Amino acid sequence: MIFIAHRSSVIANRLFWGFKMTHMIDQHNRKIDYLRLSITDKCNLRCIYCMPSGGLKLKPHEEILTYEEIELFANCAIEQGISKIRLTGGEPLIRRDVLDLIKGLTSIPGLTDISLTTNGILLADYADALVEAGLKRVNISVDSLDPDVFRRITRNGNLSRVISGLEKTLEVGLEPVKINVVVLRGVNEDIADFVKLTFDYPVHVRFIEYMPFSKEIGMEKSVSSAELQERISKLGELEQAASPYGAGPARYFKMKGSQGTIGFISPMSEHFCPKCNRLRLTADGRLRTCLFSDEEVDVRKAMRAENPKEKVKELIYQTLLTKPKNHSESRRRDFQRRMSQIGG
Ligand code: SAM
């Protein structure tokens, strides 16, 4: 058995009941086991806080990782200690043959959880096939349950499609279903509708603090978790609740008598860096260790060179060494990538 040396970043192999188990521990003693894979920078919505009004220049096709490359990267990461993968985008369900990718990923030994974050527009069409492909669960991003407000935020999205997607998701058992909501002051403050949703469906609504990644929508639009919790607690009796599976950094509560829960994710008011267990890979093959940093490492080049597996594994290791202890940049407005180009 090899012990994990805590003062440096290590990838340690352990023999446990005859199985080889690998862990990645970073310089700050955090276990890194979660990979967010963005598989496209394209989206079928244009959320006002995620994309600029003029749209974003998409990466040329040849710069986007192929499915073979994504699987190669996932294999390397899993061999080094990643056990959970989330597919994101852009909108992951608009990438052609996404089911083939999911099937490929689920067959990699060592992967214990594979999930997907989606805007839900195509979910009703895909839910059955996603289960068949081996996907475990989905998070659905929906920022208002008022069709007109939803249309304004998404720049013309159709809420009824998302609700059909949500119902279908519950029907096929892609659970626990989490609903991501970003509240913007003066835009979508209809939070009582989401509280009601937890009575109508067994879903986990998570309010995520808006992170101002650009100058277009400023910090004044961000509503803190504390304010939302106070407002929600005036609507009924809010009690602490157990976290659903794969809960990440959210704190959970529930309204007395509801089926679902209400969570708060507070990237602006309460940094969860000490618990951060993530790596991110962008659709164009850049490996990132922190959402709030422009630092990224080109792994696409290594994947397209000779002996890609060894090179990619070495890059993962080297990149792990650079994962910062904390982010200090949450007040910045001039990030090189918008959220749709990272995957959230
Ligand atoms: N298209 C998918 C979706 O809508 O969930 C996946 C990509 S989207 C970029 C992932 C998540 O990032 C969504 O839940 C979205 O609300 C969130 N997001 C985007 N921009 C954000 C921002 N500036 N602050 C907080 N969350 C943001």
CA of 211 to the centre of ligand 1 (A): 10
Under a CB-based contact definition with an 8 Å cutoff, are residues 15 and 6 in contact? Answer: no
Atom 26 of ligand 1 has which residue's CA nearest to it?
Answer: 210
Taking CA atoms only, the protein residue closest to ligand 1 atom 4 is: 119
Strand residues in the chain grouped as ranges (E): 10-16, 19-25, 34-38, 84-88, 113-118, 137-141, 178-182, 204-208, 238-240, 251-255, 261-265, 278-281, 286-288, 297-298
Instruction: State the helix-helix crossing angle for 308-321 and 67-80, rounded to 10 degrees.
Output: 60
Give the closest residue (by CA) to ligand 1 atom 11.
344
* Residue-wise pLDDT tens digits, 116-143: 999 999 999 999 999 999 999 999 999 9
| Exposed / middle / buried, residue 209 (Cβ in 10 Å: 0-12, 13-18, 19+) | buried
Ligand 1 centre from 40 Cα, in Å?
Answer: 13
The residue nearest atom 25 of ligand 1, judged by CA position, is: 210
The pLDDT confidence band at residue 13, using thresholds 50, 70 and 90, is low
| Ligand 1 neighbour 91 (Cβ under 6 A) | yes
Tens of pLDDT, residue by residue over 177-187, are: 999 999 999 99
Give the predicted TM-score (pTM) of the model. Answer: 0.94
Q: How far away, in angstroms, is 309 Cα from ligand 1 center? A: 31
* Span from the CA of 14 to the centroid of ligand 1 (angstroms): 36
